[in-house]
């Protein structure tokens, strides 16, 4: 097999890259280890920045999103028995939008297949080879057979393989593991508000998001090694109620808990994001804890930088965008890493916190959310930093 750009992973990063390249007449093949059904139903992110919504519309991927998505002008926070609403549109001129990641993935897979794009599902990439030549290779296994794609450039959306491919002397990883995880629940009930509510409580953080006006997506902070078996439905409800507290207009209705699972929290950056003809984009290069809702948005922002570089090369024979890829992405990545870390450490009481630590944390929350300057800083980062135009 031969293509121009070989792409590992049919997540938002790989699929968006394949789609943007196709719009400019550039060929790619996507290799995905899981089944199409798994990719289209896996519950992951929910919140899109305005720039990501504009990008999906600009790329012709917005039809179902515009029908189903829920745009929000604000975001709400509770702590220390107080309630604060940040008016995002007033402070930044931008909104955020709820639209599930698996719906975006469904839209992207649909668009690629309809245009005759090649996606191999249940195809696991095993090795990237010949990176220092002009024709790098991706070796993968599909239906029990070993296959090889020869391409000009490789985009890796799965870090394991790149780690084995990039020389240890070139790559550096920056890691932070948080001493707690999130228990995520999908619930058949109306969310307590039409906007997201992030709550700090001495017994742990909780977040109320949604997937539709009838489906709530809620998260509870739990110890990192906690087992879902320790969480009866009654315990989930009593913790959600207690941690949200009583605030006028916020009403938590009960409904069936359709799904519940625990995920760890982590920050990670791998530098550089390029080696020879290999480019990392999205979670393969960086992970953020979900508190800032940045992961999928960052993945799309990387892809804009990479698509611009590839389009400039194939259309105009320019290579300078390849050289600045890593640096441009990492500037934005580290801003998102900082914001996600900041919101996470501000909103989650640490289990080993001293009474001083807890008082200090509550004072920080009052300092930030009680001030217009503080609210503006949160709003600018939450609504999202600028992204580059993928058209060179």
* Site residues for ligand RFL per CB under 6 A: 8-14, 31-34, 39, 44-47, 101, 124-125, 157-158, 161, 182, 184, 263, 282-283, 290, 293-297, 299
DSSP secondary structure letters along 102-133: HHHHHHHHHHHHHTT-EEESSEEEEEEE-TTS
CA angle 71/382/10 to nearest 5° reads 75
320 is catalytic: no
325 is catalytic: no
List the catalytic residue out of 314, 321, 325, 382.
382
Q: Tell me which of ligand RFL, ligand PHB, none is bound by residue 296, counting a contact when its beta carbon lies within the kind-specific cut-off of 5 to 8 angstroms.
A: ligand RFL
H helices within the chain, ranges in order? 12-23, 36-41, 50-58, 63-68, 88-92, 101-114, 159-165, 233-244, 295-316, 320-347, 355-369, 372-383
382 is catalytic: yes
343 DSSP 8-state letter: H
Q: Tell me which of ligand RFL, ligand PHB, none is bound by residue 282, counting a contact when its beta carbon lies within the kind-specific cut-off of 5 to 8 angstroms.
A: ligand RFL
Q: Which residues bind ligand PHB (CB under 6 A)?
A: 45-47, 196, 209, 217, 290-291, 293
Backbone angles phi, psi at 34, to 5 degrees: -95, 175
Strand order in the sheet with 153-156: 118-120, 28-31, 5-8, 153-156, 278-280, 274-275
Q: Tell me which of ligand RFL, ligand PHB, none is bound by residue 109, counting a contact when its beta carbon lies within the kind-specific cut-off of 5 to 8 angstroms.
A: none
Indicate the residue among 183 and 244 with the shorter CB distance to ligand RFL: 183
List the catalytic residue out of 136, 294, 314, 325.
294
Residue entry with tokens 């902070």: 221
At residue 181, the 3 state secondary structure works out as: strand
As measured in angstroms, the least distance from the Cβ of 166 to ligand PHB is: 30
List the catalytic residue out of 290, 314, 325, 349.
290
Indicate the residue among 34 and 190 with the shorter CB distance to ligand RFL: 34
83 is catalytic: no
Indicate the residue among 191 and 290 with the shorter CB distance to ligand RFL: 290
What is the Cα–Cα distance from 349 to 334, expressed in whole angstroms?
24
Residues marked active site are found at: 72, 198, 290, 294, 382
């Amino acid at each position: 097999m031969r293509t121009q750009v070989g792409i590992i992973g049919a997540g938002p990063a790989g699929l968006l890259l394949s789609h943007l390249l196709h719009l400019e007449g550039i060929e790619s093949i996507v290799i995905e280890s899981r089944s199409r059904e798994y990719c289209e139903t896996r519950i992951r992110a929910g919140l899109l920045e305005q720039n990501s919504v504009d990008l999906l519309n600009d790329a012709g991927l917005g039809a179902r999103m515009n029908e189903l998505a829920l745009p929000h002008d604000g975001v709400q926070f509770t702590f220390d028995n107080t309630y604060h609403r940040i008016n995002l549109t007033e402070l930044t001129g931008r909104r955020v939008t709820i639209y599930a990641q698996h719906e975006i993935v469904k839209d992207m897979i649909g668009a690629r297949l309809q245009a005759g794009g090649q996606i191999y599902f249940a195809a696991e990439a095993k090795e990237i080879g010949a990176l220092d030549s002009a024709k790098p290779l991706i070796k993968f296994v599909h239906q029990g057979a070993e296959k090889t794609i020869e391409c000009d450039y490789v985009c890796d959306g799965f870090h394991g393989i790149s780690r084995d491919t990039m020389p240890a002397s070139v790559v550096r990883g920056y890691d932070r593991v948080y001493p707690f995880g999130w228990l995520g629940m999908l619930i058949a009930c109306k969310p307590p508000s039409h906007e997201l509510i992030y709550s700090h409580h001495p017994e742990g953080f909780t977040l109320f998001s949604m997937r539709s006006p009838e489906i709530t997506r809620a998260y509870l902070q739990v110890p990192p090694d906690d087992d879902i078996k320790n969480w009866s439905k009654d315990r989930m409800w009593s913790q959600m109620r207690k941690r949200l507290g009583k605030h006028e207009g916020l009403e938590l209705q009960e409904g069936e808990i359709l799904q519940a699972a625990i995920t760890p929290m982590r920050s990670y950056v791998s530098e550089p994001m390029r080696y020879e003809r290999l480019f990392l984009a999205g979670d393969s290069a960086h992970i953020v804890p979900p508190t800032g809702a940045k992961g999928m948005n960052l993945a799309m922002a990387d892809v804009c930088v990479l698509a611009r570089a590839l389009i400039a090369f194939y259309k105009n024979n320019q290579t300078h965008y390849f050289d600045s890829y890593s640096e441009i992405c990492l500037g934005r990545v580290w801003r998102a890493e900082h914001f996600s870390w900041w919101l996470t450490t501000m909103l989650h009481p640490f289990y080993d916190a001293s009474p001083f630590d807890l008082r200090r944390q509550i004072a920080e929350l009052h300092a930030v959310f009680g001030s217009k300057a503080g609210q503006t800083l949160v709003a600018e980062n939450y609504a999202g930093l600028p992204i580059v135009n993928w058209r060179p």
